[in-house]
Structure 1
Amino acid sequence: MKLLLTLPLFALLSFSNVQAQTAPAAPTKSTSAAAPATAQFKTSAVCDMCKTRIEKSMAYEKGVQSAVLDVPTQMLTVTYRPEKTNPAALRSAVQKTGYDADDQVADARAYNRLPDCCKKTNAVH
């Protein structure tokens, strides 16, 4: 009796599994992502601690693929996805880290939390 009850159930499961395997694949969504863009900002960074701090904070920003700060020139180069962020948002992120970004002054509260060696009044070292 058990065999008679399980046989139709087994046949039904097998049939549905075959249909699932032979069903046409759904069209995949084409991800024609825009090419990465690059932005450069003049910062007030003065040391390697600044470099580490800025690059790390930029890594947490949405859409940022890479951020590299050249300490001697104080230039931050950011590669980002334009559909996720824009230069204004990136500039604001630099300011919120405590550093100037181009002609825009750093967030005062973030700047005050920087170590003394990272303050822009300190000589470059």
Structure 2
Amino acid sequence: MKKLFLILGICLIGISTQAQKKNAKITFEVNGVCEMCKDRIEKATLKTKGVKFCNWTIDTHQLALIYDERKTNVEKIQTNIAAVGHDTEQIKATDEAYNSLHGCCKYDRSNFPFNPENNTNH
């Protein structure tokens, strides 16, 4: 009987642990132009507590990521990206942050907020 309760207890702990995971997958646009931008964007994203994975694609400007909804949200992630000089769909980097980018990393900022019909960055 003790073994039955032990096995049942272990199963319940496993189920409750699985139920607590709140990972979300999302993709959004981030302005940038080169490998240095990719490195900077991904580092800023991964430094956000709760982000588990990210990949920014140069050609499409799309950042795909997986994050724990209990630890962070999209606004915090985009704020951290903007802090290193890259505009996101919802948050524009300060002029100071943008101007601190290397010359090859400067992108056209006239398309903020993002408008797919107007996007000349791709």
Give yes or no for the alignment of 1:81 onto 2:68: yes
Rounded Cα–Cα distance in structure 1 between residues aligned with 2:94 and 2:62: 18
Q: Secondary structure at the match of 1:50?
A: helix
Task: Judge conservation of contact 1:66–1:78 (CA < 8 Å) in 2.
Answer: yes
Unaligned 5+ runs, structure 1: 1-26
Q: In structure 2, how many angstroms separate the alpha carbons of the residues matched to 1:106 and 1:39?
A: 20
Percent identical among aligned pairs is 33
Contact 1:41-1:91 within 8 A present in 2 as well: no
Whether contact under 8 Å (1:97, 1:107) holds in the other structure is no
1:98 counterpart residue number: 85
| 3-state SS, counterpart of residue 120 of structure 1 | coil
Q: In the comparison of the two structures, how many residue pairs are matched?
A: 99
Query: What is the aligned partner in structure 1 of residue 37 from structure 2?
Result: 50
Displacement, 1:34? 2.3
| 1:109-120 alignment, distance < 5 Å | 109-120=96-107
- CA RMSD in angstroms, aligned pairs only: 2.5
1:71 match: 58
Which deviations, in whole Å up to 9, do the C-alpha atoms of 1:6-37 show, x marking residues without a partner? xxxxxxxxxxxxxxxxxxxxx89753422310
What residue identity is the alignment partner of 2:31?
Answer: S
Distance in 2 (alpha carbons) for counterparts of 1:74 and 1:101: 10
Counterpart Cα distance in 2 of 1:84 and 1:104:
20
TM-superposed CA distance for 1:115, in Å, is 0.2
* 1:22 corresponding residue in structure 2: none
CA distance in 1, matches of 2:91, 2:77: 12
Alpha-carbon displacement from aligned partner over 1:71-125 (angstroms, at most 9, x marks no partner):
100011121000000111111111112101014311222111110111113997x
